[in-house]
């Protein structure tokens, strides 16, 4: 893989940016956009059982002609999965592997802690997740939408700690997400973000509008070409060593996203300004059921 990668706690590498098949493509055939993403340089693909389109990833990979080793594939356990008698986590992942057309995923995530938090089975679920690594079906395992208390419940029992926690992360959830981010950093859990462009795509009219424009203007001069406000938001994540999970239907946007890593750094004053103003708003968009009101 030629893309810049981060090293996970188990020594495996993960590309800094991933192409998602949820949100805009939820429940739809995403093979065209995924094929376009691979053709234009994405190597990291982010799927989920609940998106109901894992076959799209398989079809796009097949059409791309890429070698399996050149790609990093993530999928996520259905939030409807339970540890009830007769249910098998292994069989669940095997179902995904069949749809994707591969014999392993690079990363398998618990999509939501909610059901397991409610009945106290997070540690038991995690033991089953560890079995998937031992069986060779997942190279790395991790979690998504986990709060501090959920991470602590898993870490207390884990012999393989979660490699990744994929969470909604942008300045308009920073007030709530900072404690999760800090715990992940302290425990060697790599944070991945989704909805990172939210202040631009869903939060216009907020206190960051002018600040992001000003920073994009300053960076455009230093970079010698246009830097967008979306790239400023992605750069904020990159400088926190957070993986960017994004998506698009447009080839030109793919180039914009992949170039974010090359944009000159935000200054510490710019980062402080983004965070001081970001925390004035709390605008969570996804997985609200896993967080209390105001979290
Ligand atoms: N773990 C979880 O619970 C969870 C939850 C949500 C999402 N995810 C994952 O994260 C992936 C990405 O999520 P996201 O969609 O929230 O990512 P995002 O990076 O915040 O937003 C990407 C979307 O923004 C649009 N966009 C980009 N720049 C824009 C601009 N300047 N103006 C207007 N629209 C613009 C793109 O549309 P265009 O097609 O127009 O470019 C695209 O649909 C999902 O596909 C999924 O894989 C995971």
Q: Domain spans of the chain?
A: 5-197+242-250
Active site residue 223: no
Strands of 59-198, DSSP E: 72-77, 105-110, 138-144, 164-168, 190-194
Q: Running DSSP on this structure, what letter comes out for residue 122?
A: H
Mean pLDDT of 235-264: 98
Query: Each residue of 250-275: pLDDT tens digit?
Result: 999 999 999 999 999 999 999 999 99
Confidence tier at 2 by pLDDT (50, 70, 90) = low
Query: Each residue of 130-185: pLDDT tens digit?
Result: 999 999 999 999 999 999 999 999 999 899 999 999 999 999 999 999 999 999 99
Is the CB of residue 226 less than 8 Å from the CB of residue 255?
no
Average predicted confidence (pLDDT) for the chain: 97
255 labelled binding-site residue? no
The CATH architecture assigned to 5-197+242-250 reads Alpha-Beta Barrel (3.20)
Pocket test for ligand 1, best of 248, 249, 252, 260 (most atoms within 8 A of CB): 248
Distance from residue 78's CA to the centre of ligand 1 (Å):
20
At residue 3, the pLDDT reads 85
Is the CB of residue 244 less than 8 Å from the CB of residue 171?
no
């Amino acid at each position: 893989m030629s893309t810049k990668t981060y090293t996970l706690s188990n020594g495996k590498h993960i590309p800094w940016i991933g192409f998602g098949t949820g949100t805009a493509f939820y429940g739809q055939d995403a093979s065209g956009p995924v094929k376009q993403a691979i053709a234009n340089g994405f190597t990291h693909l982010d799927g989920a059982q609940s998106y109901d389109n894992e076959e799209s990833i398989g079809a796009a990979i097949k059409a791309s002609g890429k070698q399996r080793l050149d790609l990093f594939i993530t999928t996520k356990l259905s939030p409807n999965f339970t540890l009830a008698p007769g249910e098998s986590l292994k069989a669940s992942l095997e179902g995904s592997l069949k749809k994707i057309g591969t014999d392993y995923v690079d990363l398998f995530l618990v999509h939501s802690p909610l059901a397991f938090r409610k009945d106290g089975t997070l540690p038991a679920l995690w033991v089953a997740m560890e079995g998937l690594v031992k069986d060779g079906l997942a190279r790395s395992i991790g979690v998504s939408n986990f709060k501090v208390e959920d991470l602590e419940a898993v870490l207390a029992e884990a012999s393989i700690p979660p490699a990744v926690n994929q969470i909604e992360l942008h300045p308009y959830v920073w007030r709530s997400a900072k404690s999760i981010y800090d715990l992940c950093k302290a425990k060697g859990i790599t944070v991945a973000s989704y909805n990172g462009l939210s202040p631009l795509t869903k939060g216009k009219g907020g206190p960051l509008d002018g600040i992001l424009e000003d920073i994009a203007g300053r960076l455009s001069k230093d970079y010698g070409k246009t830097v967008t406000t979306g790239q400023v938001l992605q750069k904020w994540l990159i400088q926190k060593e957070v993986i960017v999970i994004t998506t698009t239907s447009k080839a030109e946007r793919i180039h914009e996203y992949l170039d974010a890593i090359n944009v000159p750094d935000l200054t510490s004053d710019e980062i402080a300004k983004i965070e001081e103003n970001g925390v004035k708003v709390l605008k969570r968009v996804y997985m609200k059921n896993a967080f209390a009101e105001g979290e």
